[in-house]
Structures are given as C-alpha cells and as structure tokens.
Chains A and B, each alone.
Chain A
C-alpha cells in the first residue's frame, strides 16, 4: 500500500486511524444512546400523555353527561318536553342544546324511538340507531360514547333520561369531535392528537400537510402498542387509544425536539472529532517527521556507507533512541572504514614487507593501457631457502623485509614493486624497452650483491631475475608473470644473473604446472610408488644394493618418471613432504627384505632442499630405530648440484649423517662443478659417475678416459665407484675391466616394483650368472 510506504505516513495513518476509530465509536455510542434516550423519553411522555388524554376523554364525557343531566333536569326543559308539542320540543331542544354546545339533540321515547331530532326535524319517529347506548343508559341512568352519526360526522354522544321525576323520555345530545376538540386535547396533553375513524382522519391537531401524510398511513399508525412513525420526514412516537367502537384517538409525540437536542450534541461532537482529527493529522505528521527525518538521514548515511563513502560523519542530533541509533551508525561507519582499510591492506599488501602483493600488482597491470609497453620482472633470491632453514623463519622474514627495502631503493619511477610469495619479488614498470630493462637488471643485481647485515651477521642472498615484456611476451598478468618466472629459473640454473623471457622460451608446458597441484592429492591417494633398480657388484657379480626410484602412477598420464615432477616438487617445496614418505618407505622395504634374507643396501635420492633440511638427521635416526636397521643398510644419494647450493651447510649435514653410520653417495658425479678438493672433504662412501659418460664409453675415447680416471681417482680417495646407465654388455665388460666396483643400468635390470625385485633376485639365485 502506498499509504504505508514511508514510516512518516505509517505513523500518521495509524495515529489518525485510531483516533478516527475512537471518534466514530464515540459518535456511534452517542447516537445509539441518544436514540435510546429519545425513544425511552418519548415513550414515557407518550404513555403519560396517553393516560392524560384518556382521563381527559373520560372527564370530558362525564362533564358532558353532567351537563346533559343538568340540562335534562331543567324544569322548563322538562315542562316543554312534557308538552308533547313537537314544534315546541324541537325548539326547546335547539335552544337548550346550544346552551351546552350540543349540535345534535334528540328526544327518545322510553321504548327507544326517536321522537324529535334537531338534525332531522319533521321526520317520522324511528328507532334510535345506538341501541347499545340506550341499554347502557337504561342500566346505569345515563351513557355516553363516540359514534358516527348519519351526517357522517363523529360525535360524542350522551344519553340522559328526562326525569319527571320518573323517567319519561331520553334526551340524546351529540357533541361533534372536530379539530377544535383535538386541538384542545392536544393542548392539555402536550401531544399531537388525531381522531381516526372509518373514512379517515376526523379531527386532528396536526397541520394540513402532516394530516394528509397521516391519512396515507393511518392503517399502520393505528396500533395500541407504541411505535415509531415517520410523517412527512418527521419522526414520531405513536399510540392509538380506543375511542368508541368505530374510532381511535391517535396520539403522536414528536421526536423533533429531543432529536434536535441530540443532533446539536452530535454536531458539537462531530466538530470536536473533526478538529481533533485535524489536530492529530498535523500533530502526528509533525511527530512522524521528527521521527522519520533523522531515520531518513540515517538511511542516506547507510547508503553512503554501502557505496563505500565513509567520508561524511553521521550527525547525532538528539539524545533519544534515534540519536543512539545515529551514534551506532557513526561508530559503525568508523569501524567499517577502518576495517575496510585493513582489509584493503590485507588484500593488496604483503603483510611481511609492506609491499603491494600479487593481487595489487595484477590490478596495477590491468589498469595500464593494454597496448602500452611494460616490463614485468620476477626476482627469485638465490640463497634464501638455506638461510631460512638454517637461521629460522624470524631471520628469514627480517631478511625478506631488508631485501624489500633494498629493492624499493632501485625501483624505477612509474613502476611497482610487489612481493609475489616466498622469496620471489616482482616489478611492473611502464614504458620500458629492452635496453633500459637490462640496465635496470644490472643495477638491481648489483644492489643485491651487497650482503645484508642482520644482527651483525652478513648474509649474502643474491638473486636471479627473469624479465618479460608486454606485449611481446604476453598481455595478461598471469602469462607475463609465468614467462618472467621461467626466465628467472633459467637465469638461476645458468647462474647468469638475469634472463629475458624471449631468450629462454615458454618454460614448462601448462600440464606440468597443473601437476604441481596434483602432487598433494597423489600422496594422499598413494599414487607415488617406488621402483627398485639393482646395483650389481661387478667383481663378484652379486647384487649388493638397489636404488629406490620414485614413480608417479598418474591416473591420466600413466607412470611418470621423477624428472617430470620432482623439479616442481622442489620449486613448490612439496618435496619436503615427499621425501619423508619416501625415506620411510625405503626403510620399511629394507627391513622387510632383510627379514626375508635379501641383504641389499637400499639407496634413496635426496634433493638439495632435503639435504639442507636440519630435520633430516633426526628423521634418519628415527627411521633406523623404528625398523631396527643397521645404518649401513641405507644409502643416501646426493647430486653434485644439490651439494653446491650451500656447500657449507651441506657439508655439516653430511657429516652428521655419516656420523650416524649411513652410507652416502655422490650422484651424477661429473655433471656439476664440484671440485675434487671439495669432494675430498666430503664424508661420503660412494661416487656415482653421471650416466652421460657411461652411454658413450665405447664410442667416445674422451668419455672413456674421464670414466677411467674417475674410477682411479675414486679408488684413490677410498670411495666405491658406481657406474649407472649401463645399457650393453660391452659397457659392463669395459667397466668391470676398468675396475669399476658396482654397475647399474638397463642391461643389468630395469627399475622394478618391490615384489618384482624379489622375484628377480630369486630368479638370479636359481639361474647362472649373466
């Protein structure tokens, strides 16, 4: 309803509506009780008037009878009647009748014959038409009643005897019942009086109009029970009294006067009600406005807050409830403003460094002209992980803060620096060409080359930078960042400081990126499996060990070698979850086989990150204890490059592992930059020559020379030398001849599942040696 759309109207409508209802009820009650009072009062007056009229009629009749009696007793009248002379009798009747106002005079014989009739002089005698009256007169001396006479008029008729002194005749006197009579009775009773007989209204005190109105409804009016009657639009209470056998006296009490009094009262009440309602309308609208005004202001304030405009304070006008509400709004406004501020910061700001985050950076990039040239550069710190692992997160965090501050110092104008995640930072700089990008890269790397000092300790983090250009390397943020990131990894691998995306290509295919996300699920679903590749002692032709190789039984891509997912596991840090699982599996398998009499040394590969993990030593201790394994039953293979990430820390961890008694092996030896002197210092037991040398032993004399010298060198250092990637008998024979201790490769056996490995061992024991 439109009426109730605003609070203002609703208040006003409810207030005014209630008042109207109350007023209407009051008026109704007044009208009702007025009617009741009028009706009661009128009935009372009517019945009193009716008694009065009744008495008047009786008294009137008695007086007429008396007057008639007196007349009939008049001596000269009697004397004249006694003359029997009709003319005289008629004359005396007229004379004496006029004395008391009788219009009709008759003399009746004792037998009831009309002897003389003033109305019909000279007519022969005839029976008196009102025999009842005569009988009543005979029994009680005289009688009177109302009746219609031959002339058609209504008469009050009195019959009295002529006594001389015995009854000698009857005298009948008729007094016409006319308007004068009605008016006189009306005056005496205070009611309107009408006489109704067959043929209509015979006499009335009413005005001609009302009289004719009464003529029309006399049939309904003539009730001896009081009833309401409307004549000519006026209300009356009416009651009829019997008046002789043929007539009735109808008494009307006008309600006009009483109604007028009540109408006046009702008018006064209506005026009061109208004025009251008008005042209420004004008052309630005023009140409603006073209430609704501030509420509207609050609604506007709320709308401002809704659209994020917190600038205008909510005005608190009064100390009432609405004022309290406004105060509440105000504190809500400031609260929301500060929280939104905070949320904005959380959303767009890296809490650690205070730099913009990746989201903010993306928005910035999106905000640029899509066609405009821009540079996106990703910086990855080279040695952050080992520092973080070694010195703990608090130090790592502070280091990142320092790096952020330093990077901000070399930020070109019109650029933005953001921290992406972990130890990666990114720059977006507008309108940068390749030349100035290179210049920027140089300045940046130079700035990072300076060690960062924390608590008096100088930390040398270094960094690699990948740079992508828009629009050459992509348009959207994700593409550009990925390209830059790939370039950064490339630079890191090549240790070239920085690389341009255009120079290093697209980077890993998208499927590998998605793989990163799948790895966690894979661990839970036990999709990772271990295959074992035997290590054969070339001298004794005995299987002395096996290398555990991780495979991913991918539900869609099938069996995947580690080369396709381990790099990503290392990049994402997921390797930290894979390695403990892998070591646990290997230890369990070793214990299992040992129980079954298969005594081989099981080797597991460790990544650089694993090696730098300070918890590794603890884990190994626990595994050995849990599976009751002699430490020498397990061998850990570490790649040369892993060692080179942080040679110092690696060395200290290796020392601890060696101290436990675990066998340690340098994997892929010859592919990296490890110097012999460094290798010499390592507490390792085994040297695995990189398979790239083995594959070309028989074809490349240089490789054969390297292998031979490496074997010699390893032996010189007291290390067991292992050759992997043996794919032919020739290779095997060559290596055995060269004195290589242990061989591994497809020619000996492919990596196989644990159960297949068992079968293979059993088969070997049964069959003659290869």
Chain B
C-alpha cells in the first residue's frame, strides 16, 4: 500500500503547472500543513480514508487535473482516488483481457464497455460526490472515486496517516470519509493559522471483504 501511495503522489507531479496558481494563492497568505492520523475506535490505523478540507469562506481554486485508475491484475488500482471536480480520469487496462468499467453512482454514471488498453477518452468527474466503480465482468473489482470541490485533500496510508500541505491559513471544515465507513463522521471546523497542525481522528470502518478471484489459467481468461 505504501508504494502505491507513493506512486500516486508521483502521478500528481505532472500537474505542477496547474498547481502554481494554487500555490501562489496559498503563499500569499502563508501556507499551513495538516497531519492526520485516522484510527478505528479500537486503535487500528485506517487506510484509504479521505481527508478533505473545505474552506468555510471563499471559493477554493478550481483545477482540471488528470488522474488515472488502472485495471491491473483484475483489480482497480488505486482503491480510492480523490479528485477535484472536473478532473479527467483515465482507465488504462493493463490486463491482457478486457474490462467493462461502470458506475451507477449518481455523481457520475458512466460505462466503458469492454475495452483493452487505454480508452481514447478519459472520464471527467464533473460533480462532487462519491462514485463507486465496478467491472461488469469481474464482480469483485471495486474502486471508489471521491469527487470534491477543493484542492486540499489527502488519503491515509497503511499507517492511517495523511498529510495535507500548503493549505492557506484560514477556517476549514474537515470532512473525513471512507468507502466502507459505518456512518458518516461529522465535519470538523478546523482553523489553520499555524504552520502545521496534527489531528487524531476516529472512524469506524468495515473491513474490506477480499473476494477471492477466480484463478487465472496459464492460457489466460
């Protein structure tokens, strides 16, 4: 999981140009960072929890970045993807057979019918909301996209820790979400004035049911 998280961070680098504006807005006010540790009430670190900061006042800067959710080894990678509204997401198929990605979630209903390789057009998530992704021909394949309306978000790693950097000081509503959460956590008002802040959060999460995949024969599926 850790390398996957790293991977994702790496993916974001190509969008530095876009981020310059944001950084500029942030720098003008003096940037802050927020570190969060999310654990279950039992104390287990919660991975793939989304931490989102919505500014209480003002409109956050818009972004039209790109993201990628791969289909690899009959799984979606990553499991959770957080994107800002308007982000186009590619669904490259790395498997030697086709996939059929779909979503019936109201935030984004779409379907990429049986395809191989990388589809020509990415899917643009233009509404905030939670989107569950599935593959019509591989029932166990599951991924989540959280579409937010803010550039300040992060997701916890395997250690349950997430860090949001370069957040302009100000008042924010901190939203904690997890695809398998049991009940929604209440938003937290966070006033970010200092350079960095650390928060410990509790969230009850159902364990991920790992469905055993049917075996792949040598000859492929």
Contacts and interface: CB of A to CB of B under 8 A. Distances in A.
Contacts of B105: 164
B139 A82 contact: no
B132 interface: yes
B139 A73 contact: yes
A360 interface: no
Contacts of B100: 75
Interface string A158-201: 00000111101000000000000000000000000000000000
A79 B144 CA distance: 18
B179 A165 contact: no
Interface string A57-89: 000000000000000010100110110000000
A769 B81 CA distance: 200
Given A73-B139, A75-B102, A79-B104, A165 B134 contact: yes
Given A75-B102, A79-B104, A82-B104, A165 B109 contact: no
A686 B76 CA distance: 190
Contacts of A81: 104
Interface residues of A, number: 11
What class of interface size applies to chain B in its complex with A? 10 to 19
Contacts of A75: 100, 102, 136
A170 to B, nearest CB: 15
Contacts of A73: 139
B140 interface: yes
A659 to B, nearest CB: 168
A164 B139 contact: no
A82 B142 CA distance: 17
B141 interface: yes
A765 B142 CA distance: 186
Given A164-B132, A164-B134, A78 B139 contact: no
A256 B170 CA distance: 89
B209 to A, nearest CB: 9
A73 B104 CA distance: 13
Contacts of A168: 104, 132
A73 B144 CA distance: 19
B109 A82 contact: yes
B104 A163 contact: no
Contacts of B109: 82
Nearest to B137: A75
Nearest to A162: B104
Interface-centre pick from B100, B134, B179 (highest chain A CB count, 10 A): B134
A166 B179 contact: yes
A163 B179 contact: no
Interface string B128-149: 0000111110011110100000
Contacts of A78: 104
A236 to B, nearest CB: 48
Interface in B36-66: none
A726 B76 CA distance: 192
Interface string A79-108: 101100000000000000000000000000
Interface string B81-123: 0000000000000000000101111000100000000000000
Contacts of A163: 134, 139
A163 B140 CA distance: 10
A164 B100 CA distance: 12
A166 B142 contact: yes
Interface in B174-192: 179
B183 to A, nearest CB: 12
A67 to B, nearest CB: 16
B132 A166 contact: yes
Contact of B141 (A79, A82, A165): A165
B132 to A, nearest CB: 5
B205 to A, nearest CB: 13
Nearest to A169: B104
Contacts of B141: 165
Interface in A733-770: none
Contacts of A164: 102-105, 132, 134
B21 to A, nearest CB: 35
A98 B132 CA distance: 29
A116 to B, nearest CB: 16
Nearest to B132: A166
B80 to A, nearest CB: 12
A82 B108 CA distance: 12
Nearest to A80: B104
A582 to B, nearest CB: 156
A168 B142 CA distance: 13
A68 to B, nearest CB: 15
A393 B100 CA distance: 163
Interface-centre pick from A73, A75, A165, A168 (highest chain B CB count, 10 A): A165
B13 to A, nearest CB: 31
A135 to B, nearest CB: 15
Contacts of B134: 163-166
Nearest to B209: A141
Contacts of B104: 78-79, 81-82, 164, 168
Interface in A109-134: none
Contacts of B136: 75
Interface-centre pick from B104, B105, B109, B179 (highest chain A CB count, 10 A): B104
A78 B102 CA distance: 11
Contacts of A165: 132-135, 139-142
Nearest to B109: A82
Nearest to B211: A165
Nearest to A75: B136
A75 B139 CA distance: 10
Nearest to B76: A165
Nearest to B100: A75
Nearest to B133: A165
A82 B111 CA distance: 13
B114 to A, nearest CB: 11
A462 B105 CA distance: 176
Contacts of B102: 75, 79, 164
Contacts of B140: 165
A73 B100 CA distance: 14
Nearest to A166: B132
19 contacts: A73-B139, A75-B102, A78-B104, A81-B104, A82-B104, A163-B139, A164-B102, A164-B103, A164-B132, A165-B133, A165-B134, A165-B135, A165-B139, A165-B140, A165-B141, A166-B134, A166-B144, A168-B104, A168-B132
Given A164-B102, A165-B140, A166-B134, 19 more contacts: A73-B139, A75-B100, A75-B102, A79-B102, A79-B104, A81-B104, A163-B134, A164-B104, A164-B105, A165-B132, A165-B133, A165-B135, A165-B139, A165-B142, A166-B132, A166-B142, A166-B179, A168-B104, A168-B132
Cβ-closest 6 pairs across A and B = A165-B134, A82-B104, A164-B104, A165-B142, A166-B132, A75-B136
